[in-house]
C-alpha cells in the first residue's frame, strides 16, 4: 500500500508539472517561432517576441517553484492558478488566437473543480499551440449549480490531432478522479475537447 501511495504521488507531481510547465514551454516555442520569423524578415521587430520569451521563461521558473511548494504542503488543492482570462491573454500574446467565454463562477466549496478547470484550459491551449499553431481556439466554461463544463475547439486536420499522450490522458484522469467526464474528437475539421465535473457545493 505504501508503494502504491508513492507511485500515485509521483504521478500527481508529474501531472502538475506537465500541466503548468508544459503550457508555458509551449508558449515559449510559439514566441520563438515569431522571433525567428522577425529576425529573417524585419530584425528590428524581433525585440518584442524575444522579450516575451524572457518574461515567459522567468514566469515558468516561478510557477514551477509554486507547484512544488503546493505539492509539498498538506493542502494540495490551492495552487498558483491564474485567472482564466489571464491564461487566455497570455496565450493570445504568444500567438495563439483565443476566445474565452465564462458563464457563472465557482462557489467557495469548488476549489478543487476550479483548479481542474484551470489546468484543463491550459492543456487545451497547449495542445492547440503544438498541433495547430495559428488556429483560433474557442473556450467555453460554464459554471452551473451542480456542475462545471468546459468545451474547447479549434480547427485542425486529422494529421494534427494530438495523440493520446500525457496531456489528453491527464485530462481524462482528472475527470475520472473527480467523478466527471471527458471526451475528445474530430468532427467537420474541428478538434473538440469536452470536460465536465460535478461540484462539491451541489451536495448541500
The enclosing domain of 157 has a CATH number of 3.30.565.10
Q: What is the pLDDT of residues 95-129, one digit of tens each?
A: 889 999 999 999 988 988 998 999 899 989 988 88
Classify strands 147-155 and 98-103 as parallel, antiparallel or unpaired: unpaired
- Give the domain range for residue 75: 2-203
Q: What is the pLDDT of residues 175-201, one digit of tens each?
A: 988 899 999 998 888 899 999 999 986
Classify strands 181-187 and 98-103 as parallel, antiparallel or unpaired: unpaired
Distance of CA 154 to the CA centre of its chain: 14
Q: What is the pLDDT of residues 31-79, one digit of tens each?
A: 888 888 888 888 888 888 888 888 888 777 777 776 666 555 544 444 4
**What is the CB neighbour count within 10 angstroms for residue 63?**
19
Task: Extract the C-alpha cell encoding 170.
Answer: 491527464
pLDDT at 170 over 80: yes
Distance of CA 123 to the CA centre of its chain: 3
Q: What is the pLDDT of residues 130-162, one digit of tens each?
A: 888 888 999 999 999 999 999 999 987 444 455
3-state DSSP assignment of residue 203:
helix
The tally of domains found in the chain comes to: 1
Report the half-sphere exposure of 88 (CA within 13 A, side-chain side): 18
Classify strands 98-103 and 137-143 as parallel, antiparallel or unpaired: parallel
Amino acid at each position: 500500500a505504501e508503494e502504491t501511495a508513492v507511485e500515485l504521488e509521483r504521478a500527481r507531481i508529474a501531472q502538475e508539472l506537465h500541466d503548468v510547465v508544459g503550457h508555458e514551454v509551449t508558449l515559449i516555442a510559439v514566441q520563438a517561432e515569431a522571433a525567428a520569423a522577425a529576425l529573417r524578415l524585419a530584425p528590428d521587430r524581433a525585440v518584442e517576441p524575444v522579450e516575451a520569451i524572457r518574461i515567459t521563461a522567468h514566469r515558468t521558473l516561478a510557477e514551477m517553484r509554486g507547484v512544488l511548494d503546493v505539492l509539498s504542503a498538506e493542502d494540495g488543492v490551492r495552487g498558483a492558478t491564474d485567472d482564466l482570462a489571464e491564461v487566455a491573454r497570455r496565450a493570445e500574446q504568444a500567438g495563439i488566437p483565443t476566445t474565452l467565454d465564462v458563464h457563472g463562477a465557482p462557489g467557495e466549496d469548488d476549489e478543487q473543480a476550479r483548479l481542474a478547470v484551470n489546468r484543463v484550459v491550459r492543456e487545451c491551449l497547449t495542445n492547440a499551440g503544438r498541433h495547430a499553431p495559428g488556429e483560433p481556439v474557442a473556450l467555453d466554461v460554464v459554471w452551473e449549480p451542480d456542475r462545471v463544463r468546459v468545451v474547447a475547439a479549434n480547427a485542425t486536420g486529422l494529421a494534427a490531432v494530438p495523440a493520446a499522450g500525457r496531456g489528453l490522458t491527464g485530462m481524462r484522469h482528472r475527470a475520472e478522479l473527480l467523478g466527471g467526464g471527458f471526451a475528445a474528437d474530430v468532427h467537420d475539421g474541428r478538434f473538440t475537447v469536452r470536460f465536465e465535473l460535478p461540484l462539491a457545493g451541489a451536495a448541500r
